[in-house]
Chains A and B, each alone.
Chain A
Amino acid sequence: MDVVDLARWQFGITTVVHYFFVPFTISMAFLVAIMQTMWMRTQDERWLRLTKFFGKLLLINLAVGVVTGLVQEFQFGLNWSDFSRFVGDIFGAPLAMEALLAFYLESVFVGVWIFGWGRIPPKIHLATIWVTAFATLLSAYFILAANSFMQNPVGYEINEEAGRAELTDFGAVLTNKVTLVTFPHTIFAAFMVGGAVVAGVAMWHLVKGRREPTAAEPGAPSDAITFRHALRIGAVAVLIGGVGAAVSGDLQGKVMTEVQPMKMAAAEALYDTQQPAPFSLFTVGSLDGSQALYSIEIPYLLSFLSTGSFQGEVQGINDIQQEYEQLYGPGDYTPNIPATYWTFRLMVGFGGLAAAIAAWQLWSTRRGRVPTSVWALRATVVLPFLPLAANTFGWVFTEMGRQPWLVFGLMPTASGVTPGSTAGGVFATLASFTVLYAGLTVLWVWLLAKHARPGLPDVSAEARWGRSSAGEDGSSAGDAAAGSGDDDAADRPLTFAY
């Protein structure tokens, strides 16, 4: 492997692992905010218990998401300094804005949320989780705007003298049509992750409680009703996310056909231009994907996905390759076809399976029913991993599908690498990051499982705090707790502490 490959592996591994945590944070922040809002509105302690229970999972995940995000801010400079030089005039601005507008908000207010229980007015506390949740969306928008520039560069001109691309229209960068379709797709897909975690964990408790009533903890019957609420919210989030991801993904396919036809052709491993073009569900072919041995195809579907018409013409890889050779000079402009072909199908497949399981969950728990088979239990454990896999494969597809370009049409991947970097050096950091990130991922799954397993927490302290200022304008309790500290409450233990 040469430096370029190693640098790509390092970016790929650190970014894919970082993205395990990102969709979880985005969706779970909103779901927890909704639960806490329900508690504030109804004063029903069940919602408070769900808020604390899933809030803990959110924080376990958020911590590892935040720290792996640190690497992202630097790594365009580490291995990709010529990329940073070439597009920094454009690419740096959304990154800086993400930090200034979104990341500060998220980091500052989530700290208030974590430590604010029992210490600040409940309404302000509720506001902090909403601020955190919206900050994650804002963050996602800026990052996607930067990424979309690499897929479809807009709002720039090349300054030959300076040897770089320069920004001419920031509005165009923020309203890149790729950003506009990728943002909803990403957010809907993210909601499938958080929804699946909530639905999976809640149903696991329901099924477990029904299968082993003796093992259930005291207060289990009320836990069951509470988890049923959570199951509904989670499963509905998965379904809405699934439908939304499908619809936005369809729009995305059409934009992709327009701006990156090679990626669309690679997704289908369509070598020759066809009209109408079928979509293959499954292909057994030669390893390099150049020859199909056996394939299940749905006629007309690819035409519809790419062009919106069942009779539309879809360009094949060979034609696009020829066209690009004329446009950009000799070279190989095809991405890794088996990788793009399969990651696309795995994305759709895992996403679809998650939605199907969520639908089954709603059906099988209708009107107080609880399935008790061991398969029901297993499905709940598997469910959270499915949208996560779909998210991962989606990103691997879209980034590998852009190859051999780093910035489509402007900069080949190999030209972006830091000059003078050595394979040995990059390999050393790649190995270190891989070991560290593997450890983090194991720890993350283990801690989440550990904290998802016990029943709902005792929330009497938080409930008292919530009640004490309900009906007033929500300030007295918090002010007393945060005050100078020589009242009776001064020596009471904190409601929350690390």
Chain B
Amino acid sequence: MDLATVWFVLVAVLWVGYLALEGFDFGVGMLTRGFARGDRERRVLINTIGPVWDGNEVWMITAVGATFAAFPEWYATAWAAYYAPLVVILMSLIVRGLAFEYRAKHDTERWRRWWDRAIFWGSAVPAFTWGVLLAGFVQGLPLDGRHDFTGGLADIVTPYTMLGGAVTVVLSLLHGAHYVALKTVGDIRLRARALAGRLAAPVALLAAGFAGWTLLDRDGGPMSWLAWLGGVGLVVALIAGRAAIVQRSEGWAFTASFTAMVFFGVVLFASLYPNVLPSTTDVGGLTIANAASSDYTLTVITWVAVPFVPLVVAYQTWVYWMFRRRIGVQHIPSP
């Protein structure tokens, strides 16, 4: 495997890590509306992800930074093409991040209501839009000879990418429900379990539909065996998660939806390989080979990534262990 391929794998791992981690905190954010009963429960939900959401989001920042360093052409073409949806994502993530920190910093009903909206929409909108954009990588975009995007929004918003967005939202929601069941005590935990049980079948159906569409459309690629494995794994993991939550094994249910997110990423990136952004015209497609940085640059960043990626995983895991205790309404201090 050459270094450029190693970096394709690493970028994929970073995106998959992002989906699997921020996926559940997006899910928790969406559960603050409708699911949570009253302000105290909403605060329970927010506090389950309070110490960790920011670290989860860095997976995306790093994925983007790694793309810039290892595949400047991919970075340049993709973000210029995805301009409008990206601005929507960025603005949503801005208000969401502020909402967590600012919600409790002023004590009026109206203030909290606005930040609650920010948390809900700031979680749902990026989850959906990232799904659209990642599916868009697989689908491809109209590019010209120098890899510039020549299309419009209609080339990004297609039935396939919309399904990708929807699957990301429902997977996040299920993942979030498992996380809440795992991290809370009391009534909220029971309801999270029940909700996860009800969500499992429709989520599996949608996910299977998306995986099937991707696999049939992209069959014959050099890594299609892995993509197939991912598709099957995705559905199996969702079924296993449903079995676990019925058995009240919340840890296993969370592990299952985490794995489902990973397999969802595997479907996407294995179908994409060896492209990074295929063109829907005859020219301009970006591949691992023609989008990559020079060997020297790849060597330098590899030397940095080899020790530091495992280190990041280690200390982030430690933080989850540190905050492993469940919380419930009784733990929420009065404002």
Residues of chain A whose beta carbon lies under 8 Å from any beta carbon of chain B = 59-60, 62-64, 66-68, 70-71, 73-74, 76-79, 81-82, 84-85, 87-93, 95-101, 103-105, 107-112, 114-116, 119-120, 159, 164, 166-168, 170, 418-421, 425, 429, 432-433, 436, 440, 443, 447, 450-451, 481-485, 491-498
A441 to B323, CA, bound (A): 32
Q: What is the CB-to-nearest-CB distance from B51 to chain A, in angstroms, rounded to a whole number?
A: 4
Name 27 A/B residue pairs within 8 A (Cβ), A-sorted: A60-B105, A63-B98, A67-B93, A67-B94, A67-B95, A71-B94, A78-B80, A78-B83, A85-B76, A92-B297, A95-B65, A96-B62, A97-B69, A100-B62, A100-B65, A100-B305, A105-B315, A111-B51, A159-B294, A418-B80, A429-B83, A429-B87, A433-B87, A436-B94, A450-B105, A496-B333, A498-B43
With A60-B101, A88-B76, A99-B65 known as contacts, the answer to whether A497 contacts B94 (CB < 8 A) is no
Is B319 an interface position by the 8 A CB rule?
Answer: yes
CB of B106 within 8 A of CB of A432, answer no
Task: Give residues of chain B (114-164) contacting chain A, Cβ–Cβ below 8 Å.
Answer: 146, 148-150
CB of A498 within 8 A of CB of B65, answer no
Q: Which residue of A lies closest to B55 (CB)?
A: A108
CB of B305 within 8 A of CB of A89, answer no
Which residues from chain A contact B327 at a C-beta distance below 8 Å?
A: 494
Q: What is the CB-to-nearest-CB distance from B52 to chain A, in angstroms, rounded to a whole number?
A: 6
User: What 1/0 mask marks residues of chain B from 198 to 228 whose CB sits below 8 Å from any chain A CB?
Assistant: 0000000000000000000000000000000
With A59-B101, A68-B94, A76-B68 known as contacts, the answer to whether A498 contacts B46 (CB < 8 A) is yes
Q: What is the CB-to-nearest-CB distance from A469 to chain B, in angstroms, rounded to a whole number?
A: 15
The 3 closest A-B pairs by CB, nearest first: A88-B72, A77-B79, A92-B69
Is B66 an interface position by the 8 A CB rule?
Answer: yes
Is B90 an interface position by the 8 A CB rule?
Answer: yes
A166 to B325, CA, bound (A): 49
Task: Give residues of chain B (84-98) contacting chain A, Cβ–Cβ below 8 Å.
Answer: 84, 86-87, 90-91, 93-95, 97-98
CB of B79 within 8 A of CB of A78, answer yes
CB of A77 within 8 A of CB of B78, answer yes
CB of B50 within 8 A of CB of A111, answer yes
A419 to B146, CA, bound (A): 10
CB of A166 within 8 A of CB of B64, answer no
Which residues from chain A contact B83 at a C-beta distance below 8 Å?
A: 78, 421, 425, 429
Given A97-B65, A494-B332, A497-B104, 4 extra CB contacts under 8 A: A70-B61, A70-B94, A84-B75, A167-B293
Is B113 an interface position by the 8 A CB rule?
Answer: no
A74 to B308, CA, bound (A): 22
CB of A420 within 8 A of CB of B297, answer no
Which residues from chain A contact B326 at a C-beta distance below 8 Å?
A: 485
CB of B101 within 8 A of CB of A119, answer no
Which residues from chain A contact B293 at a C-beta distance below 8 Å?
A: 88-89, 92, 166-167
Q: What is the CB-to-nearest-CB distance from B7 to chain A, in angstroms, rounded to a whole number?
A: 10
CB of A107 within 8 A of CB of B65, answer no
Q: Which residue of B lies closest to A419 (CB)?
A: B148
CB of A107 within 8 A of CB of B309, answer no
Q: What is the CB-to-nearest-CB distance from B92 to chain A, in angstroms, rounded to a whole number?
A: 10
With A100-B62, A104-B316, A482-B324 known as contacts, the answer to whether A110 contacts B54 (CB < 8 A) is yes
Q: What is the CB-to-nearest-CB distance from B68 to chain A, in angstroms, rounded to a whole number?
A: 4
Is B249 an interface position by the 8 A CB rule?
Answer: no
A429 to B149, CA, bound (A): 18
Where chain A touches its partner, the secondary structure class is helix
Q: What is the CB-to-nearest-CB distance from B139 to chain A, in angstroms, rounded to a whole number?
A: 19
Which residues from chain B contact A99 at a C-beta distance below 8 Å?
A: 58, 61-62, 64-66
Residues of chain B whose beta carbon lies under 8 Å from any beta carbon of chain A = 43, 46-47, 50-55, 57-58, 61-62, 64-70, 72-73, 75-80, 83-84, 86-87, 90-91, 93-95, 97-98, 100-106, 146, 148-150, 293-294, 296-297, 300-301, 304-305, 308-309, 312, 315-316, 319, 322-327, 330-334
CB of A421 within 8 A of CB of B62, answer no
Most-contacted residue by chain A among B64, B72, B93, B334 (CB, 10 A): B72
Task: Among B50, B70, B101, point to the contact of A63 (Cβ < 8 A).
Answer: B101
A111 to B83, CA, bound (A): 30
Q: What is the CB-to-nearest-CB distance from B26 to chain A, in angstroms, rounded to a whole number?
A: 15
Which residues from chain A contact B73 at a C-beta distance below 8 Å?
A: 85, 88
Q: Which residue of A lies closest to B325 (CB)?
A: A485
CB of A73 within 8 A of CB of B64, answer yes
A111 to B97, CA, bound (A): 12
Task: Among A87, A119, A166, point to the contact of B296 (Cβ < 8 A).
Answer: A166
Q: What is the CB-to-nearest-CB distance from A89 to chain B, in angstroms, rounded to a whole number?
A: 5
Which residues from chain B contact A166 at a C-beta distance below 8 Å?
A: 293-294, 296-297
Most-contacted residue by chain B among A85, A421, A451, A493 (CB, 10 A): A85
With A167-B300, A450-B106 known as contacts, the answer to whether A111 contacts B72 (CB < 8 A) is no
Q: What is the CB-to-nearest-CB distance from B116 to chain A, in angstroms, rounded to a whole number?
A: 12
CB of A70 within 8 A of CB of B93, answer yes
With A85-B73, A107-B58 known as contacts, the answer to whether A101 contacts B80 (CB < 8 A) is no
Which residues from chain A contact B51 at a C-beta distance below 8 Å?
A: 111-112, 114-116
Which residues from chain A contact B87 at a C-beta distance below 8 Å?
A: 78, 429, 432-433
Q: What is the CB-to-nearest-CB distance from A76 to chain B, in angstroms, rounded to a whole number?
A: 7
A79 to B81, CA, bound (A): 10
A93 to B71, CA, bound (A): 10
CB of B65 within 8 A of CB of A92, answer yes
Q: What is the CB-to-nearest-CB distance from B163 to chain A, in angstroms, rounded to a whole number?
A: 25
Q: What is the CB-to-nearest-CB distance from A459 to chain B, in angstroms, rounded to a whole number?
A: 14
CB of B300 within 8 A of CB of A60, answer no
A432 to B84, CA, bound (A): 11
CB of B106 within 8 A of CB of A71, answer no
A429 to B91, CA, bound (A): 11
CB of B319 within 8 A of CB of A104, answer no
Which residues from chain B contact A95 at a C-beta distance below 8 Å?
A: 65, 68-69
Most-contacted residue by chain B among A99, A101, A485 (CB, 10 A): A99
CB of A73 within 8 A of CB of B55, answer no
Task: Among A68, A92, A112, point to the contact of B68 (Cβ < 8 A).
Answer: A92
Which residues from chain A contact B55 at a C-beta distance below 8 Å?
A: 104, 107-108, 111
Q: What is the CB-to-nearest-CB distance from A117 to chain B, in angstroms, rounded to a whole number?
A: 11
Q: Which residue of A lies closest to B315 (CB)?
A: A108
Which residues from chain B contact A120 at a C-beta distance below 8 Å?
A: 322
Q: Which residue of B lies closest to A85 (CB)?
A: B76
